[in-house]
């Protein structure tokens, strides 16, 4: 392995993706992928790390992710609350209709079986038998418990009273939620046992309670929750604990940590669960005890039938050694105990017929193929359309119209085609041709090929017609979005009408609309198939919102232009550096023309001669943009279509200068350079950057000797390491807030 080994870049990309998903799952309680998809990413990461010989201590997630929330007291667990080792079947291994198969149905290939849940359970059992000096024929009692998809909690009782409830947190420290647990009624507040001891379990929302909670949110016009786990986590982190009364949060308790009790207890997990039930705790009725892993695996497969009948979500089964006297002996790794393992259900998958392919056109002209399917019920809803990502993936998977395809939901929300059942392919199945023209406007398609960090070629198809009606709709929606111009009242339905009936094709044309034009516009039919008009009040509100948006400033305008590669951060950087559209446009023109001053301000890896040339020209390096991004963005900024939009916006009075965001310069911040890395507890990165700039500070995307502070959140990576190596002062969010308030 060398430093240029492309696998290193792929490993780093997988690590970054896993870290991002950890933050969404633990801290934000808003995962964007299913557990199965996450496990697949982790499996790919581990296989690659094995190939590269990466030490276990240097790999992703040596400790569990954190669910800490700002504003809660944090305490250290008397014994770490660790995750369990997982046994899952990898995405491209052997499952049927979304279910694992019996041992005898698996291929004999040993390496292949290691990638299945059974193969991983078999390896775990062999290791435990070896440590216990048990032959393969000797009895090994195992307890199987349904794995609740909820929120982990530690409960401390003393003198028969609940005295403390703590979240799992990062496994070492958790948030105190005693008041929330008491108000929820999810656990007994008093029990008969008088000694001090700790129990652990899961808080969860039953399906009926989750439905009722979403009904409340819908009635209040608020965003609906994705699943019961998110709902439960959100409720338990409410500081106004009284709102939990009657919300229906419940619990299952399943564990008494060894060594954290003084009273005598039974020596098996089975008997301890019975003891917990006698104390008044809820213990899952699906728990069973078997002899040996083959029986345990069979029990896990059998329980998939019961899973659909439960009033709560489970995502697998937990398998533990029944003999609790062995727990201290086996101990744990930094991430999981050795006395238990979690069998994970594969994602729910169903087969259906692929009837046709339609194409969606995005705001940048990207063509996305969509599968039109025979309706099929998956994970709680009927699916008739599913994403196919791009045409190169269709070719790689050899998907054809008329095929029987396997469908699952990404993140339990977005349907996607994951495979083809070629055993059911008929002679009438037809190959899917790559598009040669845009389905909306008929313009010839442009094919773009780019390698990813691993060297794999990504192929994308684009419609280059800036006036394409579908592109226009998507761009206008993006222009009005909160992170861009934030124009309230300009939703998708209104945009559709403006494009269809008012011939709006560019953002600047929105500012020519009048309330009289808008008031009489006919919108979509209501549930009774009755057409409705926009109305005078809505028209007046939208005109007022458009007038207010004129003062948003250059950064917001740039962010709303739907330019590939030009997001909110780079838009902010451009506005801060150039100050006006005229200056930015002039620089872009110079860069495209090869002006040395402009080119050298972008180039990062300069040779000695270039460094001397840059110094002679007085070049100030531009942060936040590399050569590839600059080539892409600046070519778009000088294109006639974008220039026409900016001229039009200027003509109607839209402010194309950088807004002065310094509201009160702070002595400890003004003139200082900050680099943000990792995820912060309460602030998004853009919020933190705005606060720093408002206090007179600057932000940068890279660490150097000139950096004054690195603000490090959870899962901080190489930037933190570089800061420590250079001796740059490292602070966290709380310390940043102190600086900003001083």
Cβ–Cβ < 8 Å for 568, 559:
yes
DSSP state of 452: -
Residue 655's closest CA among 509, 550, 544? Answer: 550
Measured CA to CA, the distance from residue 482 to residue 140 in angstroms comes to: 58
Q: What residues pair up with 190 in beta bridges, in sequence order? A: 161
Task: Mark out the alpha helices in 398-508 (DSSP H runs).
Answer: 469-479, 492-501
| 3-state SS assignment for residue 156 | strand
Structure tokens at 83: 């995750």
Residue 356's closest CA among 415, 406, 399, 407? Answer: 399
Measured CA to CA, the distance from residue 483 to residue 495 in angstroms comes to: 17
For 37-63, give the DSSP string: HHHHHHHHHHHHHHHHT--GGGSS-SS
Query: What radius of gyration do the chain's Cα atoms show?
Result: 29
Q: How far, in whole angstroms, is CA 223 from its chain's centroid?
A: 17
Structure tokens at 651: 């003509």
For 207-245, give the DSSP string: HHHHHHHHHHHHHTTPPPPSSHHHHHHHHHT-SSGGGGT
653: left (phi over 0), alpha (psi -120 to 50) or beta: left
For 93-123, give the DSSP string: SS-BTTB---GGGS-S-HHHHTTSHHHHHHH
Structure tokens at 52: 């590269």
CB atoms within 10 A of CB 531: 9
| 3-state SS assignment for residue 297 | helix
**Catalytic status, residue 147:** yes
Structure tokens at 687: 């919020």
Do β-strands 698-700 and 709-712 pair in parallel, antiparallel, or remain unpaired? unpaired
Q: What residues pair up with 255 in beta bridges, in sequence order? A: 200
Cβ–Cβ < 8 Å for 659, 589:
no
**Which residues touch 404 (CB under 8 Å, ≥6 apart)?**
351, 352, 353, 354, 420, 421, 424, 425
Q: What angle do CA 125, 127, 133 make, to 5 degrees?
A: 100
Cβ–Cβ < 8 Å for 656, 650:
yes
Tell me the CA end-to-end span of the chain in Å, nearest whole number: 50
Structure tokens at 44: 């790919």
Measured CA to CA, the distance from residue 328 to residue 300 in angstroms comes to: 26
- Phi and psi at 360, nearest 5°, equal -100, 140
Measured CA to CA, the distance from residue 733 to residue 302 in angstroms comes to: 48
Measured CA to CA, the distance from residue 155 to residue 167 in angstroms comes to: 9
Do β-strands 381-387 and 161-167 pair in parallel, antiparallel, or remain unpaired? unpaired
DSSP state of 508: G
Query: H or E segment at 370?
Result: strand 367-378
Measured CA to CA, the distance from residue 643 to residue 630 in angstroms comes to: 17
Catalytic residue among 42, 86, 120, 147: 147
Count Cα neighbours of 136 within 13 Å in the Cβ-side half-sphere: 5
Catalytic residues: 147
């Amino acid at each position: 392995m060398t430093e240029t080994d492309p696998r290193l870049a792929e490993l780093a990309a997988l690590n970054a993706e896993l870290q991002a998903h950890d933050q969404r799952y633990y801290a934000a309680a808003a995962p964007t992928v299913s557990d199965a998809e996450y496990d697949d990413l982790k499996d790919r990461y581990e296989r690659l790390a094995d190939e590269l010989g990466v030490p276990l201590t240097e790999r992703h997630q040596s400790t569990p992710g954190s669910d800490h929330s700002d504003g809660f007291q944090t305490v250290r667990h008397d014994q770490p609350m660790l995750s369990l080792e997982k046994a899952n079947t990898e995405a491209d291994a052997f499952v049927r209709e979304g279910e694992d198969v019996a041992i005898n149905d698996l291929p004999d290939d040993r390496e292949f079986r290691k990638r299945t849940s059974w193969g991983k359970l078999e390896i775990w059992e062999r290791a435990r038998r070896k440590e216990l000096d048990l032959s393969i024929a000797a009895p090994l009692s195992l307890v199987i418990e349904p794995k609740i998809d909820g929120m982990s909690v530690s409960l401390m009782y003393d003198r028969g009273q609940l005295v403390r409830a703590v979240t799992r947190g990062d496994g070492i420290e958790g948030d105190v939620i005693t008041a929330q647990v008491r108000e929820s009624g999810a656990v007994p507040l008093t029990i008969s046992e008088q000694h001090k001891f700790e129990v652990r379990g899961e808080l969860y929302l039953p399906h009926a309670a989750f439905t009722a909670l979403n009904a409340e949110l819908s009635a209040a016009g608020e965003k609906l929750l994705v699943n019961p786990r998110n709902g439960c986590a959100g409720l338990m982190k409410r500081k106004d604990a009284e709102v939990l009364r009657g919300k229906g949060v419940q619990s299952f308790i399943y564990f008494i940590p060894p060594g954290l009790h003084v009273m005598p207890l039974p020596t098996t997990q089975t008997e301890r669960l019975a003891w917990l039930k006698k104390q008044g705790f809820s213990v899952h009725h699906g728990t069973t005890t078997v002899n040996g892993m083959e029986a345990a695996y069979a029990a896990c497969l059998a329980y998939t039938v019961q899973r659909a009948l439960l009033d709560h979500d489970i995502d697998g089964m937990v398998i533990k050694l029944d003999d609790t006297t062995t727990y201290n002996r086996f101990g744990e790794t930094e991430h999981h105990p050795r006395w238990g393992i979690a069998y994970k259900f594969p994602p729910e998958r169903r087969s259906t017929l692929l009837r046709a392919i339609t194409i969606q056109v995005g705001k940048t002209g990207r063509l996305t193929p969509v599968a039109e399917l025979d309706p099929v019920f998956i994970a709680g809803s009927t699916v008739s359309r599913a994403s196919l990502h791009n045409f190169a993936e269709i070719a790689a998977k050899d998907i054809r119209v008329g095929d029987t395809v396997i469908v699952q939901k990404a993140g339990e929300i977005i349907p996607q085609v994951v495979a083809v059942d070629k055993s059911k392919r008929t002679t009438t199945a037809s190959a899917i041709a790559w598009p040669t023209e845009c389905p909306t406007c008929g313009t010839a398609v442009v094919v773009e090929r780019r390698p990813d960090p691993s060297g794999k070629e990504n192929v994308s198809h684009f419609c280059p017609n800036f006036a394409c009606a579908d592109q226009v709709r998507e761009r206008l929606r993006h222009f009005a979005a909160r992170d861009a111009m934030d124009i309230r009242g300009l939703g998708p339905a209104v945009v559709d009408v403006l494009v269809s009936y008012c011939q709006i094709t560019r953002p600047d044309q929105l500012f020519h609309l009048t309330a009289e034009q808008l008031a009489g516009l006919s919108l979509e039919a209501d549930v009774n198939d009755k057409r409705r008009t926009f109305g005078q009040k809505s028209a007046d509100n939208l005109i007022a919102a458009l007038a207010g948006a004129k003062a948003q400033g250059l950064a917001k305008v740039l962010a709303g232009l739907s330019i590939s590669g030009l997001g909110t951060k780079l838009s902010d950087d451009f506005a801060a550096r150039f100050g006006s559209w005229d200056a930015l446009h002039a620089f872009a023109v110079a860069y495209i023309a090869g002006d040395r001053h402009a080119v050298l301000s972008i180039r990062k890896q300069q040779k000695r001669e270039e460094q001397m040339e840059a110094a002679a020209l007085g070049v100030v390096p531009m942060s936040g943009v590399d050569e590839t991004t600059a080539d892409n963005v600046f070519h778009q900024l000088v294109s006639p279509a974008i220039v026409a939009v900016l001229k039009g916006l200027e003509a109607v009075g839209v402010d194309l200068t950088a807004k002065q965001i310094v509201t009160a310069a702070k002595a400890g911040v003004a003139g200082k350079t900050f680099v943000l890395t990792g995820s912060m507890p309460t602030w998004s990165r853009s919020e933190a950057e705005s606060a720093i700039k408002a206090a007179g500070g600057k932000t940068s995307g890279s660490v150097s000797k000139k950096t004054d502070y690195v603000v490090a959140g959870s899962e901080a990576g190489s930037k933190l390491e570089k800061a420590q190596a250079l001796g740059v002062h490292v602070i966290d969010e709380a310390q940043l807030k102190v600086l900003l308030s001083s």
